[in-house]
Amino acid sequence: MKQTILITGGAGFIGSALCKSLLLADNIVICLDNFDNYYSPKIKHKNLTKHLNNEQFHLEEGDIRDKIFLNKIFSNYSINSVVHLAGKGGVRNSIENISEYFDVNVTGTITLLEVMRKFNVTNFIFASSSSVYGERNKLLSETDCSNKQISPYATTKKTIELVNYNYHINHRFNIVNLRLFSVYGNNQRPDLFISKVFNAIYNNSEIEIYGDGLQTRDFTHISDVLIAIQNSIKLCMVKTNVYETINIGSNNPISVNNLLEVIEKEIDSVIKRKYISKQIGDVQSTFADISKAKNILHYSPSKSIQQGINEYHNWHKNNKK
């Protein structure tokens, strides 16, 4: 069944990949993005180039805090579901810009939810983050305590989850909060670690590593994330009274040092490393318990880190920034 889906932050890494995936599934896609300068607007526009001639793709440029703009979008389209990817990203940057992060991420989300309520659009998939768990250093389950975030970015994500529950209880929204773990893959943001490593390799420069490199991350391939989002949309369309918070990870963490070894094997070369002080706001480890995702979303990670790095390497060779 063809649906009309609004994707906020639709020009970014995950958003543009989701646009492509949903269009291939014959949906109508409204891509909303403000094309801010967190990273190159030129890159984000390029992400969407192939869709611009598709009559089922609609690009809307504006800010989620702009209620007039949002009202216009919801008036012009018969939207079935919203996938909310927009917001300020980055743990370290949030520490120096806390007011901006709360304004964009929290106030912006509330503005969006209020306009959805006005137009009776009640299916909402939210891209939360593994950072909501704080410093736990264990297998992370959705039932674990998550009230000790160590960055403003993480706190905004947790706050939005709580706000979402208000809309579920008080206004009967179907909500799926997806706690995403270290998403990577082709076309990922240039500020993300794997992008930085490959750019350093091809510029013959050092890659800076915060701390000792023993910190671990549960890297999750973009293709698996897209399946989780699409299955979340389907869940909200076929069921009522949905409120779920679900980890989306690989369930197979790897240390930064070991990841660099995987990349070195892939490129058959030694990576120049420079170890510097650990940054505040960074957790030591992430490790997703994905049993709930398997049960509710029929989610099963399909791509190993070795396969993902090989795919990214091939993409990067043809798309060097």
The residues assigned a catalytic role are: 153
Q: Where are the alpha helices (DSSP H) in 25-174?
A: 41-48, 67-76, 91-96, 98-101, 108-118, 152-171
Please tell me the distance from the alpha carbon of residue 231 to that of residue 261, in angstroms, as a whole number.
34
Please tell me the distance from the alpha carbon of residue 61 to that of residue 69, in angstroms, as a whole number.
9
Please tell me the distance from the alpha carbon of residue 260 to that of residue 168, in angstroms, as a whole number.
43
Q: Please give the structure tokens belonging to residue 102.
A: 């709360």
Please tell me the distance from the alpha carbon of residue 269 to that of residue 136, in angstroms, as a whole number.
34
Print burial letters for 109-137: b (CB count within 10 Å at least 16), e (below 16): bbbbbebbeeeebbbbbbbbbbbbbbebe
Please tell me the distance from the alpha carbon of residue 164 to that of residue 238, in angstroms, as a whole number.
19
What's the residue count for the chain?
A: 321
SS3 31: strand
Q: Where are the alpha helices (DSSP H) in 139-192?
A: 152-171
> Side-chain half-sphere of 52: how many Cα atoms within 13 Å?
8
Report the 3 state secondary structure along 225-285: HHHHHHHHHHHHHHCCCCEEEEEECCCCCEEHHHHHHHHHHHHCCCCCEEEECCCCCCCCE
